[in-house]
Amino acid sequence: MKNAAIMGYGTIGSGVAEILEENRDVIARAAGEEIRLKYVLDLRDFPGSPVEDKLIHDFSMIEQDRDVELVVETMGGINPAYPFVKACLLAEKHVITSNKALVAAHGSELLAIAREKQVNFFFEASVGGGIPIIRTLYDCLMGEKIEGLTGILNGTTNFILTKMDKEGWTFDQALKEAQCLGYAERNPEADVEGHDTCRKIAILTSMAVGKEVNYEDIYMEGITRITDIDVQYAEKLGMSIKLIGASRLQADGMVSAYVLPLMISREHPLYSVNDVFNGILVKGTMLGTSMYYGSGAGKLPTASAVVADMIHGVRNAGRNVELGWSAEKQAVAPMEMNVFRYFIRVAGQPEDRLSDLMTFGPLEVVSTGKNDEFAIISKEMPEANFREEAAGVEGIRSVIRVEL
Ligand code: HSE
């Protein structure tokens, strides 16, 4: 029997406790022995909850208990998650986390400690909720050179954009509902401004290239500037607006990476990834493109990924599983070098404005038949050229990049 502790009894932590109880037999069969929840660390008390008798408030009880071999970190944020996780690894315990902020900021260091101590630092639940994408990258695709990743990696924003698109909801209505359903983080800014997607694509790219990708080097835009009018134009074009995190390995060894709302057509494999679901396209040089799809957020899907990592920890007792992510820094190319087409909404009427806009052409002109405006889709342009040209055009109401 292996003893486990959960640090943080919030949505995911309580889901882990629930699955450990509900699937006790399945888990014992898979792990080869029972996993027993010994402690739940939280600042709060949960009178009447199923873990009431396991609740503790003092981290050192976990750190110093040699019988606890598996520690789940579901507190979120950096402090005190980072010092607690580090201390657990140094105390030769496997640590399993769902915390993308922690992995993105300190992944290289924590993996190095796990390697040195011959334990494991697993973080499947940090990206894609219940989708097994991390293990796919370090295990199933270990013989591949990954040249591209494109994903819808945030359930909350995908839910919001889907509701705006399919139900005509406003951004605020959709955000409120996402929070009620427990998808959105406590602070919605992390979701809607793109930070969450940015950390996830940094983690995936680090896994893909085997080097540390700093999420702060990745260009990021969220969805707060997307309006119902933009959504109407996208519909008219037979397209959909999705918050995409993407990265590509360039021939010069640099990585191009970005997080931004992108207009994608019905033919795009991610077009039908709706609601809280996530979808990830992985392009390998030998495999070609493969796609991974599933629940990207929510209590039980995410907790399921945590539990699978716990079983993986038990199966690899006394042995570090190499995830292939070194501390070497990966250079990220400047955003200005990326090439897109651009959806540009402008004030006025086409007959008066098209001569100003020829610099973006040949153009596709779109109108929704109302308002004092229309839109164009530009030719393919490097971001640097687009910015230079757009700076000289008056009356631009919104810009959304369009898939190539
Ligand atoms: N807030 C995140 C999302 C949770 O909506 O995808 C899962 O990481």
Q: How many angstroms is it from 207 CA to the middle of ligand 1?
A: 19
How far is Cα 395 from Cα 373, in angstroms, rounded to an integer? 9
State the average pLDDT over residues 15-27: 98
Relative to the CA of 100, which ligand 1 atom is closest? Answer: 8
User: 159 with 280, same domain?
Assistant: yes
pLDDT digits (tens, 9 = 90+) for 27-46: 999 999 999 999 999 999 99
pLDDT band at 327 (very low <50, low <70, confident <90, very high): very high
183: pLDDT strictly greater than 90: no
Q: Which residues contact 361 (CB under 8 A, 6 or more apart)?
A: 378, 379
- Asked if the structure places residue 38 within a domain, the reply is yes
User: 142 with 285, same domain?
Assistant: yes
User: 277 with 304, same domain?
Assistant: no
- Asked if the structure places residue 172 within a domain, the reply is yes
Q: Is the CB of 296 under 6 A from ligand 1?
A: yes
How far is Cα 89 from Cα 87, in angstroms, rounded to an integer? 6
Helix (H, G, I), strand (E, B) or coil at 330: coil
- Asked if the structure places residue 142 within a domain, the reply is yes
Q: Is the CB of 8 under 6 A from ligand 1?
A: no
How far is Cα 49 from Cα 69, in angstroms, rounded to an integer? 24
Q: Is the CB of 222 under 6 A from ligand 1?
A: no
- Asked if the structure places residue 323 within a domain, the reply is no
DSSP 150-205: EEE--HHHHHHHHHHHHT---HHHHHHHHHHTT-S-SSTHHHHTSHHHHHHHHHHH
User: 146 with 289, same domain?
Assistant: yes
pLDDT band at 364 (very low <50, low <70, confident <90, very high): very high
**Last residue in a domain, options 232, 266, 296:** 296
Q: Is the CB of 297 under 6 A from ligand 1?
A: yes
Q: Which protein residue has the closest C-alpha to ligand 1 atom 8? A: 297
Give the single-character DSSP code of 124.
G
Domain that residue 187 falls in: 135-296
User: 252 with 179, same domain?
Assistant: yes
DSSP 329-352: BPPB--GGG-EEEEEEEEES-HHH
* 299 is annotated as an active-site residue: no
Q: How many angstroms is it from 126 CA to the middle of ligand 1?
A: 9
Show the beta-strand stretches assigned E in 214-265. Answer: 219-220, 239-249, 255-265
User: 56 with 161, same domain?
Assistant: no
- Asked if the structure places residue 324 within a domain, the reply is no
Q: Which residue's structure tokens are 């070497």?
A: 328
User: 123 with 161, same domain?
Assistant: no
Q: Which residue's structure tokens are 């992985």?
A: 282
Q: Is the CB of 154 under 6 A from ligand 1?
A: yes
The bridge status of strand 364-366 relative to strand 373-377 is antiparallel
- Asked if the structure places residue 109 within a domain, the reply is yes
User: 160 with 67, same domain?
Assistant: no
User: 143 with 115, same domain?
Assistant: no
Closest to 298 (Cα-Cα) out of 204, 192, 185, 201:
185
Report the number of distinct structural domains present in the chain.
3
Q: What are phi and psi of 211, to 5 degrees?
A: -135, 165
What is the domain-level CATH number for residue 342? Answer: 3.30.70.260
Residue type, 371: N
| Of 49 and 368, the one with more pLDDT | 49
Q: How many angstroms is it from 144 CA to the middle of ligand 1?
A: 28
Q: How many angstroms is it from 385 CA to the middle of ligand 1?
A: 34
How far is Cα 199 from Cα 36, in angstroms, rounded to an integer? 32
**Worst-scoring range by mean pLDDT, 27-36, 234-243, 309-318, 366-375?**
366-375
Q: Is the CB of 129 under 6 A from ligand 1?
A: yes
User: 140 with 178, same domain?
Assistant: yes
User: 116 with 186, same domain?
Assistant: no
Q: Is the CB of 194 under 6 A from ligand 1?
A: no
Closest to 231 (Cα-Cα) out of 375, 108, 98:
375
Q: How many angstroms is it from 89 CA to the middle of ligand 1?
A: 26
Q: Is the CB of 155 under 6 A from ligand 1?
A: yes
What is the domain-level CATH number for residue 125? Answer: 3.40.50.720
pLDDT digits (tens, 9 = 90+) for 254-267: 999 999 999 999 99
User: 264 with 292, same domain?
Assistant: yes
From the candidates 38, 163, 200, 211, which is the catalytic residue?
200
Helix (H, G, I), strand (E, B) or coil at 341: strand
Q: Which residues contact 195 (CB under 8 A, 6 or more apart)?
A: 189, 220, 222
How far is Cα 134 from Cα 269, in angstroms, rounded to an integer? 20
What is the domain-level CATH number for residue 201? Answer: 3.30.360.10
- Asked if the structure places residue 322 within a domain, the reply is no
Q: How many angstroms is it from 127 CA to the middle of ligand 1?
A: 8
Relative to the CA of 183, which ligand 1 atom is closest? Answer: 5
